[in-house]
Structure 1
């Protein structure tokens, strides 16, 4: 009898251990609070594709969970409000439905259309970061302003509001009337605010002039004449345009910026060596304003002072069998940069990815002899048998 009891005890312990192992399959959900009657995508950390999930007060009453996990995510809709619902999990290929220990979901009421009673200020300038006080907002609630003709149900509130209902907003799109889409604390919906006093409206004034400090920096600041180079423009907004002009022969009031830098960078080809200034126009403006403290040095192609040491150090031993010659490094593609080289005035340079700029560019380092270990045939590279 004692042996049977001991064996039974072992089986019960194994079953309990197995149950605990299953219960720990999902360790976290994001978000852990949603809005009732609102379909919400929830991430299930630890879940596998094909697992079925459902939230309930009692998982023993769930026979087959109603939602399936794909790539760690499932769309969940809960009809009723609840402070704490258990996660019921049915792992793919299994019949058991197991409550996941330590994982719970809160379900809050839908956001009221009259939750917000006003905003201040009611007018802001396009592209300028502005702190807006949203009266009636709860702490950790979220908001977004969208053009008046759009639908809040298609918008995702992204600006978190502090305990006093304030948030920092930047609207870079076109000027005009904007509506407020609001999400109550812990919610997952997006509701247009129309209190009894009238719909909440924000007027965005189209920028009509460009500031001298619109752009804070550029990268790189040195390029080669007639070589297409991607230049990052820090401070650029959607619809902004830029041009570079030689500071000795021209000025910004003589040109109309035409290169779109709304993505934060653009490819520029500048002809002629010298120092160039940046002429800039923000979206909606018709001016051309020189950016204070911004300059671009354009070098002529050919031998530079820091290349002269190469003439006495042609002792490289690079394996050029996998390298191909390109006119200049920026012409090499993503998959070719580190397998290509360029020759300048008889000196070979290996191309490499320069990650110090955005976007990263295929560049050449002329400051060290290591970059000069390139094979050459006659005078201009190509034969693996003749390395220097």
Structure 2
């Protein structure tokens, strides 16, 4: 009987211990940081890591055990990021988090880990094919010896790979789609092994890798295939989307009844983001004059016209602007000529007025290279133009 009571007592104690542990787990607060980018870096290379959910001024440290930390191993978050340098390779380091002003409170962030990989070798890629491309054209290049999911970039031979960021991911066959928009000449290859954050010039035993880029000296009359919109209002700044535009190209609109692309001054409006804000004085049907980067000509784009109408809008011009439904407070936003003109730091706090209605800008990572963009076909990005709130004074909103 005594042994049965002892067994029952021990069983109750174990149950109480389990219940206490369960309550502690239930009371555990969720992790502050929900994601880090990147989740793998190169040893001994200072790398910017973004901490989703992190607060400016808080400190972070990566370690095998958050109960055994180095007093000198802390990094401070600023603008959602911290520049991290770790000397030793590791497969899975825990993220230890310390809120500002709470030196004694360190919390391990659940589900967050960081890998630290070895430095990239300078002799991984032994050859490239092809070895010559045309400026501005997207070409699939095979990098012999490159690993899948590694990254690479071609930069002018005079530049340093340490200042470059490899961006093109390579597939299982060591191939990547590269576009060189810089001036013609010789380019070197900067390479980053999978999971790394460094950038190392490839110098195999046979000699340094070199890519010859042929300079584009003339402009194709079919460079721009489509523009949108094709009709605008006189004296109203309007962003024109141009399919086929490339970084460094220039554009200008001309009324063919009074001049031509050859007679006018060279195009001076940058269309590197695939769009440009155009303002035209005077009604009529205009043509598009275009100059490719590196060229000295001004070529009328075949089949492309822009109709400019007097102030006021016809029904067929309203399209997506027929109903504004403004619902966004612009008090804390800054107006820009067009979203493409805003940099990454100011993009999400900017808006532009286009054909009488305002749209909030957003940083579009789905495009390459990423840019400050605007979605004019949906209200998901925040349609602006509320009464007395946007568009300046007097309001540019219709």
Q: Same fold (TM over 0.5)?
A: yes
Please say if residues 233 and 261 of structure 1, whose CA atoms lie closer than 8 Å, have aligned partners that are also in contact. no
Instruction: Report the equivalent of 1:85.
Output: 93
Please say if residues 267 and 298 of structure 2, whose CA atoms lie closer than 8 Å, have aligned partners that are also in contact. no
Q: Deviations over 1:36-76 (max 9, x none)?
A: 11112222334334433222223332254522233432222
Instruction: Report the equivalent of 1:167.
Output: 176
Write the mapping of 1:356-367 to structure 2, written as runs, cut at 5 A.
none
SS at match of 1:153: helix
Between 1:192-201 and 1:37-46, the stretch displaced more is: 37-46
SS at match of 2:155: strand
Instruction: Report the equivalent of 2:230.
Output: 221
Instruction: Report the equivalent of 1:193.
Output: 202
Between 1:34-43 and 1:281-290, the stretch displaced more is: 281-290
Residue among 28, 49, 54 paired with 1:21: 28
Residue among 357, 377, 389 paired with 1:353: 357
Structure of greater Rg = 1
Between 1:202-211 and 1:78-87, the stretch displaced more is: 78-87
Question: Does the C-alpha gap of structure 1 residues 13 and 204 become closer, same or farther in structure 2, counting only changes over 3 Å?
Answer: same
CA distance in 1, matches of 2:236, 2:32: 55
Question: Does the C-alpha gap of structure 1 residues 161 and 305 become closer, same or farther in structure 2, counting only changes over 3 Å?
Answer: closer
CA distance in 2, matches of 1:185, 1:336: 39
Deviation at 1:301, TM superposition (A): 5.4
CA distance in 2, matches of 1:91, 1:335: 34
Q: Deviations over 1:219-261 (max 9, x none)?
A: 3322345666554433323332223333456554444532322
Unpaired runs of 5+ residues, structure 2, are 1-8, 317-336, 338-349, 362-372, 377-393
Deviation at 1:28, TM superposition (A): 2.9
Please say if residues 237 and 261 of structure 1, whose CA atoms lie closer than 8 Å, have aligned partners that are also in contact. no
SS at match of 2:162: helix
Residue among 64, 67, 82 paired with 1:57: 64
Deviation at 1:201, TM superposition (A): 1.4
SS at match of 1:286: coil
TM-score, with length taken from structure 2 = 0.69
Deviation at 1:130, TM superposition (A): 1.4
Write the mapping of 1:1-388 to structure 2, written as runs, cut at 5 A.
9=17, 12-13=20-21, 16-17=24-25, 21=28, 24-62=31-69, 64=71, 65-92=73-100, 93-225=102-234, 229-248=238-257, 250-263=259-272, 264-270=274-280, 272-300=282-310, 352-353=356-357
Q: Deviations over 1:246-282 (max 9, x none)?
A: 3456554444532322344445454554322212121
Please say if residues 239 and 260 of structure 1, whose CA atoms lie closer than 8 Å, have aligned partners that are also in contact. no
Please say if residues 279 and 289 of structure 1, whose CA atoms lie closer than 8 Å, have aligned partners that are also in contact. yes
CA distance in 2, matches of 1:16, 1:82: 30
CA distance in 1, matches of 2:311, 2:20: 80
Q: Deviations over 1:163-222 (max 9, x none)?
A: 111111122222222111111001111111111111111121110121122112223322
SS at match of 1:168: strand
Unpaired runs of 5+ residues, structure 1, are 307-329, 339-350, 362-381, 383-388
CA distance in 2, matches of 1:96, 1:250: 73
Instruction: Report the equivalent of 2:366.
Output: none
